[in-house]
Amino acid sequence: MSNFDMIIKNGLVVSPAGFSQTDIAIKNGKIAALGKLDDFGEAAKVIDANGKYVMPGIIDGHVHIAAPFMGCTGPLDFYSASKAAALGGVTTIIDFTNTMPGDSVLKKIEDRKKEMQIAAIDYSIHAKIVEANAEILSEIKDIVSLGCPTLKMFTTYRRAGVMINDEDILKVMEEAKKCGARPGVHAEDNTLSEYNDDKFTQAGTTGWKYHYISKPPMVEALATKKMIDFSRAVGGELYIFHLTCGEALDEVIKAKKKNLPIYAETCIHYLELNKHVMDDSETGYRYICSPPLRDDKDRMALWQGLKEGVVSVVSSDNCLYDDNEKLGFLDKDKSGNIIPDYKKIANGVSGLEEKLMLLLTDGVGSGKMSISDVCNVCSVNPAKLFGMYPKKGIIQPGSDADIVIVDMNAKKTLSYKTLHYGINSSVYEGKRVSGVPIMTIRRGEIIAENGHFKAPKGSGQFIKRVL
């Protein structure tokens, strides 16, 4: 009889501090031991990872799957999203409730949980809060008890009905502090955004590039500073979703210097893509996301922020739509040609499957990051900040056997034909990557191997989190 279910031998096991050649023994979905193969005894399956990096499974703490936006829900459900995720080395995702004014957030968590039960990777939920009446505030302690102690609030999208007012933000921050939750924000100043939207509409200047012109870095920096000040006034923690620019990053740096408990993530597209892709009149709409893409100076500032540890997490903010959905709300002229209007485009881009490959290529491959840095921003830090550590996010005895094996010599061309989203375009079309996940293991089971997805529908588990 075998001592273990699986042994991974000869691999370079990545930790927060570096990597070392260590063998891994797995039993009952957990990492049972680290050491030398000769000391382990028999295993039902032995995987030789010679010359490969063996990393903790990637945790993507910011995704939007089947999330309604302007009536669109995108091509993915939680099972098809699991395929793209697993082939990209992702073993756990966190999505959001679809809360609107008048909704019970607790009820929306239960609704989302039911939708996510078809997933083949592990999952959890952030609670989106759009108002702070007495009933919603009273739910926060129960939201924490359900294992969803991370909250999200929007400082913009007033016209869409999801912007929460300043007084309510402070109330949520106070209650979160009492209940052991951490508030997070989508930080963009709504007044300036709406002012620009109305000005451009009146002037007839609504081409794709006016999306980034309408929301310059100042829009994000203003809201980021205010949310940090609110958090300081309350005396609690704050998580800033999808930081995009140097001006907002400077506000986080100032907060860090004051030892304030402020945490920031960025997303892979803000590291990779330049805003001027939206200048293309034919394809610019595909790159519209919120906050918008920035210029190279901002991209380089974000890479530096990662290197210095000011930015703690790289997520995907995966929220994608095919061309029919992206263009479906646009008016047409008498000749049947679409009339560009950036305000009528479903916002979002992909990143769930591509993120690790891009970080290995343009981070590790170019010297901007080490392999342990990737481990930290994609696994260790998300696990800690979202309340899953050490169950997730680390390769050590007792942790879930969530593992991705990476071949740095493997190369791939990213394309809608090679990715698994089911749409007819990619914002990374033609991008060559060096460093590819060749095996993804979720709780001791191989769910993806050499480009083949193997996990059955519904085999993922809800992760109850505690901060």
pLDDT at 69: 81
pLDDT at residue 158 tops 90: yes
Say whether pTM exceeds 0.85. yes
Statement: residue 56 has pLDDT above 60 = yes
Separation of alpha carbons 76 and 422, rounded Å: 8
The reported pLDDT for the residue numbered 31 is 98
What is the spatial distance between Cα 311 and Cα 318, in angstroms, rounded to a whole number? 19
Give me 134's structure tokens: 């007495």
**Average pLDDT in the chain:** 97
Dist CA 413 CA 398 (whole Å): 37
Q: Which residue has the higher pLDDT, 402 or 324?
A: 402
**Residues 122-139 pLDDT 10s:** 999 999 999 999 999 999
> Are the C-beta atoms of residues 67 and 96 closer than 8 Å to each other?
yes
Three-class SS state of 338? strand
Rounded Cα–Cα distance for residues 54 and 51 (Å): 10
464 class by beta-carbon count within 10 Å (0-12 exposed, 13-18 middle, 19+ buried): middle
Does the structure show a pLDDT above 70 at 175?
yes
DSSP states along 366-434: TTSS-HHHHHIIIIIHHHHHTT-TTTSSS-STTSB--EEEEEEEEEEE--TTTSSS-SS--TTTT-EEE
Nearest Cα to Cα of residue 217 among 194, 238, 195, 187: 187
Q: Residue for token digits 């080395």?
A: 89
pLDDT for 68 beyond 90: no
Say how far apart CA 36 and CA 33 lie, in whole Å.
Answer: 9
Question: What CATH number matches the domain at 58-385, 3.20.20.140, 3.40.1550.10, 3.40.50.720, 3.90.1150.10?
Answer: 3.20.20.140
The Cβ of residue 243 has, within 10 Å, a number of other Cβ atoms equal to 26
- Mention every residue, 6+ apart, whose C-beta is less than 8 A from residue 218: 189, 192, 247
pLDDT in tens, 343-360: 999 999 999 999 999 999
Kindly report which listed range (62-71, 214-223, 277-286, 432-441) carries the lowest average pLDDT score.
62-71
E strand residue ranges, 140-231 = 150-154, 182-186
Q: How many Cα atoms sit within 13 Å of 147 on the Cβ side?
A: 12
Q: 2 pLDDT exceeds 90? A: no
Evaluate whether 32 touches 4 at the Cβ level (below 8 Å): yes
Q: Is the pLDDT of residue 167 over 70?
A: yes
Looking at residue 1, its pLDDT comes to 54
